[in-house]
Structure 1
């Protein structure tokens, strides 16, 4: 039986130590939080050796997860039906996924392995990584019948019939497939509908296994991860393993307001010890110096979540989709929906400035089509993208809330929208723009939110079921503004910029736009 808490695990970290001049510093190779059922043997070493043959050298912590997660009972069946790995980003969870998938294809003989991610681009990137590993290993490559490159059907099929498929999760993805192993990447965004689509595929399989991999919980969207974590902590508290769950979590246990000054039971968020405890890749692909730069740049909440693994886990599954119901939103999805002219664009930025969104709205019949055009990290790309979209689509206007974090981009966007970006404009004159940039007032934001909500209720919104927009709606709540309300997020990790931007874009379709006054020559000129 493997059952570790923070205190017990700390005694088993021979490679972890405070920084010294004597040698390299490594993160904890066994997690502070771990629980797993007993095992008589393991297939993990086979996976580790096969990965090495393919050129994938695994860190000790990655090997540890594979050995424990792939533990076997005396009869050879899996000890754990479910395996969950909760570790901060950039530590190398992808290596664990690749080793497990290689084993399932080439040694385990698993007929179908389903690899799913929250977004299609993540699943496709995973496909490309494992494809490279196999192609560069001749004795594996020769066993491949085909590498399926068709968009949405990416996968690898062996001559002996085993298949590894890569899909983006949705309400229906995975239905109709009988998976022997399900790999659920980005498990911090995983709810009931996705589980309902994927898990029953394993019911008819003898000895299946499901792997969940991701980073710290981000609030209402982390429904399934919260359940797994709750089971693991309950098992540790009871002093006995969960009979079907192997759970591994690298995270710090930060001080709380009530801690005395000499508290040793919790971690200091600014300490290297907290980093080592929550980042097993330190010494392999991360360094304390790089982490120190992150700490200086990120917000306290963002750093705690992204680097120290301090998550927000919903206790009530009803927290998600609290404003607009999931069924109501999905009923408005139409993959053939397209906006008619004129269109309006809008921009929004997260409070941490970690992500920004550009969205569009356009009339469609007696309703409005809304769509996420871009949802990307950072903000440096927004102005250039705004100019390109404007030149291509000739929008009615752009909309930005000057009181929001996006307000800091108004000058950049305005400059980018100038007819001639090199044209010198008198500071007292309004610049000539390719499209007007409308700055909302508080009452406009309130009206926009109410109008969007009413349009959804009346069925006068159509959308393409963009994953970022669905995620934003699931994690949104109401922010009271007197007797009205606007959008707010349920957790610091929730990005609602796609929702705010489509709301503003729809408002921009109908907003009155003040035309610049033309200068009139004085009478004296015509005397």
Structure 2
């Protein structure tokens, strides 16, 4: 509460307190914590302070479900009624369905609303509480947020627990907090730094989901409102992902804009080498790969081979322009041209993708096409990731040129689960990831051809 209600030196005249008051340092406050950790008590304290200390004219408390809003109203009304000094200031209490609220003799009001697209329109509030913010959508925020615009010292609170892919509004707030890009945002989150899909079983770089220390890190109410024994019972009853989200604060947050959700920007930049190029080497192998976006809006061709340091060099092909272009009809003529000029060992295509329609035409033209199975593609995604972000004790072995199409694809990429593996998700990614998928297939195809080679290939020189 102390930091969320910190003040600036700017002042405004409050018509209810009839005093000059300092303005909030934070216009927005984000609070993300697992359930039963006292979040509701924080909101009650903020709302009571707004009514009886801060002189706020209208406070709106909104929740995703009516039962949650009704319960919040009942709890704060009980606190007021059990405190004579506060109860004496109450002029009217509305208990009507959908109209729950408290009005003071001064004219100040606290209203409780269930969120709808239009709920909140027509009100001019000083403080807007958006509880269960992990369920917020843009239409609801659009209906409620303008209620603050005409007030001299407004404040907006987002509160909830760990979000999922649909938690777009709360995800944007969290993203801004992590980027430190908004000096008028205060954000607090209790969660563990959990292992990812890429960690080994004995990982020591992340928090163990079974450790009591992890329980405490994600639950400030542990030992006060929640017992270790109860958390352990929850862990035995829930599946791993549900427990991590509900009790350890591990959200499956949506990708926002150019957020580096899978491969970090730092890791990607560390593997950039503008001087690298595919060279004739002892294995003499070069492979090409192609991928097309689901709507066939873009297609990309990439190449993979060894550079002079015998690292896997991957790049989008093309000289005057990248072979990452709109549509799909240009792909076969361009592949025929590359097949004749650089003589690759094979072209790699995922037959389940939109590019799969090209396979027959390429094979009819005498081009060797290799297609991975679903399991092999999932393995290829993991292999590409570890080539950029190696596990502890391993070494990164992939380099790239920092080309814009590939970098943008990596920045916007997200992943999807495939049984006990994962793959790049074209649906959840925030940009066209055909360059990344193509690069992933190229790296996989290089290794596939390498292990199939009975002897050294005919020497060649690759020119972009």
Q: TM-score, normalization: structure 1?
A: 0.46
The match for 2:290 is none
2:173 is matched with 228
Mapping of residues 51-62 of structure 1, within 5 Å: none
Give, in angstroms, the shift of residue 191 of structure 1. Answer: 1.1
Deviation, structure 1 residue 252:
0.8
From 201, 207, 221, the equivalent of 1:281 is 221
SS in 2 for 1:85: strand
Shift, 1:304, TM fit: 0.4
How much has 1:257 moved relative to structure 2?
3.5
**Cα distance, 1:264 vs. partner?**
3.2
Residues 146-161 of structure 1 aligned to structure 2 (within 5 Å): 146-161=92-107
Aligned: 1:181 with 2:127: yes
Paired positions, count: 248
Structure 2 residue 199 is matched with structure 1 residue 259: yes
Aligned to 1:61: none
Map of 2:209 onto structure 1: 269
Alignment of 1:487-502 (within 5 A): none
Q: Secondary structure at the match of 1:275?
A: helix
Distance 2:168 2:56 in 1: 28
Alpha-carbon distance in structure 1 between the residues aligned to 2:177 and 2:147:
24
| 1:260 shift after superposition | 4.6
Distance 2:88 2:153 in 1: 28
Alpha-carbon shift at residue 261 of structure 1 (Å): 5.5
Q: State the match for 2:3 in structure 1.
A: 68
Paired with 1:138 and 1:232, the residues of 2 have a C-alpha distance of 40
TM-fit CA distance, 1:313: 1.3
CA distance in 1, matches of 2:201, 2:139: 45
> Which residue in the other structure is 1:25 paired with?
none
Q: Residue 130 of structure 2 contacts residue 159 of structure 2 at CA under 8 Å; is this kept in 1? A: yes
Alignment of 1:331-370 (within 5 A): none
The question of 1:90 aligning with 2:40 is answered: no
Give the superposition deviation at 1:153: 0.5
Q: Deviations over 1:294-351 (max 9, x none)?
A: 000011111000000111111269xxxxxxxxxxxxxxxxxxxxxxxxxxxxxxxxxx
Q: 1-side partners of 2:135 and 2:187: how far apart?
A: 17
Instruction: Report what 1:163 is aligned to.
Output: 109
1:347-387 Cα distance to aligned partner (Å, 9 max, x none): xxxxxxxxxxxxxxxxxxxxxxxxxxxxxxxxxxxxxxxxx
Matched, 1:218 2:158: no
Alignment-derived partner of residue 371 in structure 2? none
TM value normalised by structure 2: 0.52
Paired residues for 1:457-476 under 5 Å: none
3-state SS in 2 of match to 1:193: helix
CA deviation profile, 1:413-461 (whole Å, cap 9, x unmatched): xxxxxxxxxxxxxxxxxxxxxxxxxxxxxxxxxxxxxxxxxxxxxxxxx
Moved over 6 A (4+): none
> What is the SS of the residue equivalent to 1:96?
helix
**Aligned counterparts, 1:301-320, within 5 A:** 301-315=241-255
Question: Equivalents in 2 of 1:225, 1:261: separation in Å?
Answer: 31
Which structure has the larger Rg? 2
- Is 1:140 the counterpart of 2:83? The answer is no
The separation in 2 between residues aligned to 1:301 and 1:262, in whole angstroms, is 19
Coordinate RMSD, CA, aligned? 1.6
1:262 Cα offset (Å): 5.3
1:293 to 233, 243, 247: 233
- Displacement of 1:266 after TM fit? 0.8
- Report the CA distance between 1:167 and its aligned residue: 0.4
Which of 119, 123, 132 aligns to 2:69? It is 123
Say if 2:29 and 2:156, in contact at 8 Å, map to a contact too.
yes
When residues 80 and 316 of structure 1 are mapped into structure 2, their CA distance, relative to the original with a 3 A threshold, is closer
Query: Structure 2, unaligned stretches of length 5 or more?
Result: 11-21, 258-426, 429-464
Structure 1 residue 218: deviation in Å?
2.3
1:388 maps to which residue? none
* 3-state SS of 2:158 partner: strand
Q: 1:314 to 1:166 in 2, by over 3 A?
A: same
Map of 1:246 onto structure 2: 186
What CA distance in whole angstroms lies between the structure 1 residues aligned with 2:85 and 2:256?
50
What SS does structure 2 have at the residue aligned with 1:77?
strand
Give the equivalent residue in structure 1 for 2:53: 107
**Aligned partners of 2:172 and 2:256 also within 8 Å:** no
1:170 and 1:135 map into 2 onto residues whose CA distance is: 30
Q: CA deviation at 1:92?
A: 1.1
Residue 270 of structure 1 and its aligned partner are, at CA, apart by 1.4
Structure 2 equivalent of residue 208 of structure 1: 154
What CA distance in whole angstroms lies between the structure 2 residues aligned with 1:269 and 1:209? 35
